Structure 1
Amino acid sequence: MAEAFSAGILLFRRGKEGVEVLVGHMGGPFWARKDLGAWSVPKGGYVPGEEEARAAAGREFVEELGVPVPEGEWIALGEVEYGSGSKRKTVQVWAIEADLDPAVIEPGTFEMEWPPRSGKTAAFPEIDRVAWFGLDTAGEKLTKGQAPFVQRLAELLGG
């Protein structure tokens, strides 16, 4: 059984260039200078039995992006397990077809000790920017553990 559980929502839209998905670049000092593998589906943790995964996905979308979940059909993309040992994680994602202007995003924040071992606490955005990417590009930018969700969405949409 996995040690941690997360749930999220992957928005997608269809345009002249094909299907695009909205993903967020992870905030904080560790990710600041990284690009490939440093983007994430808007998601967050929950405790099974205390909260339903779908409810957590909606809550985390609002917390991370600062906007309501757009109206639309929730399309289950299933679960992915990644990591090992005590760092094992199960992530469950739904896709919703909707357009969202990245300029309206008001990300939530988290606090951590920074610089390390300084005793000082600093606040950082959970996601420091969001962008729409085509499926191939998104698959490269997402963390390895989350990239399968883009492939599943492509398969569900017929390509």
Structure 2
Amino acid sequence: MKQSAGILLFKRVSKKIEVLLVHPGGPFWKNKDLGSWSIPKGEFTDEESAREAARREFKEETGFAITEKEKMLPLTMVKQKSGKLIYAWAVEKDIDATAIKSNHFEIEWPPKSGQLKSFPEIDKAEWFSLEEAMQKINSSQAAFITELQQLLSQK
């Protein structure tokens, strides 16, 4: 079974919470917006913990590190329609979303052209209010935002 791990970054701006979401790169996602954003995440195997994978993937997709010192609040795992399990942690940290540096992947593009083209895994990152984020995020990951909201309202 496939599994992914990621980080839901959040910050407080004038008593409101904002979350960082990333938009997948590549030609398939080029003109897609609502429902296509995600937390920075990626697949991992049993050779590393979900927590380690979440930190590694965040660095690979944004260029920013989540250090051991930063508190990672565990969120409830979600299961996507495909059956893939996604583990996530919420971390309070402010980064410059315009300064992300993502790793790249190669695919044949255009299809059946025989040409390999390189695309960034993530083409952009943005901070969103919780309301905006709920519209932008892949619906299977919306539970992470809802849970973060509940966790922060209890504090």
Question: Which TM bucket (shorter chain)?
Answer: over 0.9
Quote the residue 1:23 is aligned against.
21
The equivalent position to 1:41 in structure 2, one of 39, 42, 45, is 39
Q: Which 5+ residue runs of structure 2 have no aligned equivalent?
A: none
* 2:98 and 2:126 in contact (8 A); partners too: no
Quote the residue 1:151 is aligned against.
146
The equivalent position to 2:12 in structure 1, one of 11, 14, 38, is 14
Query: Where has structure 1 moved over 2 Å in runs of 4 or more?
Result: none
Give the CA deviation at 1:116. 1.1
Letter in 1 for 2:55: G
Helix, strand or coil: the match of 1:146?
Answer: helix
Tell me how far apart the structure 1 counterparts of residues 75 and 12 of structure 2 sit (CA, whole Å). Answer: 18
Quote the residue 1:88 is aligned against.
83
Tell me how far apart the structure 2 counterparts of residues 109 and 35 of structure 1 sit (CA, whole Å). Answer: 20
Helix, strand or coil: the match of 1:10?
Answer: strand
1:109 and 2:99 matched: no
RMSD value, Cα? 1.3
Letter in 2 for 1:77: L
Quote the residue 2:60 is aligned against.
63
Give the CA deviation at 1:17. 5.8
Q: Which 5+ residue runs of structure 1 have no aligned equivalent?
A: none
* 2:74 and 2:90 in contact (8 A); partners too: yes
Letter in 2 for 1:99: D
Tell me how far apart the structure 2 counterparts of residues 72 and 54 of structure 1 sit (CA, whole Å). Answer: 12
Q: Residues 131-154 of structure 1, C-alpha deviation per residue, up to 9 Å, x if partnerless? A: 000111111101111111000100
Tell me how far apart the structure 2 counterparts of residues 101 and 63 of structure 1 sit (CA, whole Å). Answer: 15
